[in-house]
Structure 1
């Protein structure tokens, strides 16, 4: 993208809704890329995956049986969640307890699919996600696994950010600072994707969703490509 085009991006659809919905598998870079896109477009940002992780922590911390769908659904409704929508300030609080870091630990990663595949819990979290989107006057980058098809299928921009399995495993390993072995990385990336794909399709783009394959792109190149998609789609309107 040219610098001139970059300079005009924050002015896109001023005073009107601009939801950028980004889906993708684990390790595709969607969180870091989405956050940076939100910063450059001066939009709010929502990491929906953190919400599922928060419910997982809330259930484990409270002794809720993750195999009891009704109990997990109720926990998702009861959980007092405060999650950042500021791309410059990441935090996740439950009942005032800061769980920003703990929800990224292997124990949560290993258990989160139990929440993500509980349909009642998904329904409640989708309700909360839509509420946050409306709170920000539909000017937000929202990322997850079902954003383009379920949460905001009417988003102005919808994209699927993907990458090869090799690239995703490598990136997640770097993100975790080399603290995970190959088996743990596979559990966090490919195994979780396999479980979650039983309730939502985040590996193939639905009609109207633009695919961005970042396998051969570095972070800045991926951000630029994502911004290019936003500009192209919006300027087509």
Structure 2
């Protein structure tokens, strides 16, 4: 799950990035509001963590600009201000959730997963498609009640397909979901991961749409 972190504090930013990475998140980190707005408008992320006290352009203005451009990506704001008025302003500007610093990483991860689930119309941490049951909190997968061992990349790719079941995804879209900035991606990385998923779940679990991309059917006949 790829998320954008906009935080100018080096210690906090590096801690959040490292902590979320341990829980399966791919984190792109920017340090000012102008850079954050640029990345938000590109809409490459499943969720956004937005500090309110950013340089060049504060988080509140960045959030308002994103919503004016009809960006629907869920936003969780970070603020050092515990005042009710500050929280209300952020939520009214289009934020979906907030956390007051200092941040508990386990809670941050849980809130991000919840935001992403809701943005895809899901309310539970467990997704089920075609007999495959995936728990995004425990990062476990079962097929017909039997546990299936997956690598971290395989899990993230399966999660992406399950959250977009029935929708054709291009290789470029899949790479954007799986890999953060600066990660070297081999030309056939997605195909290799799909090959392994098919070995574990069957050839029909992910179908190739020639010349377009890949799709996980919502139901198999």
Task: State the TM-score, normalized to the length of structure 2.
Answer: 0.29
Q: Which has the higher contact order (CA 8 A, sep 6+)?
A: 1
Task: State the TM-score, normalized to the length of structure 1.
Answer: 0.27
| Structure holding more strand per residue | 2
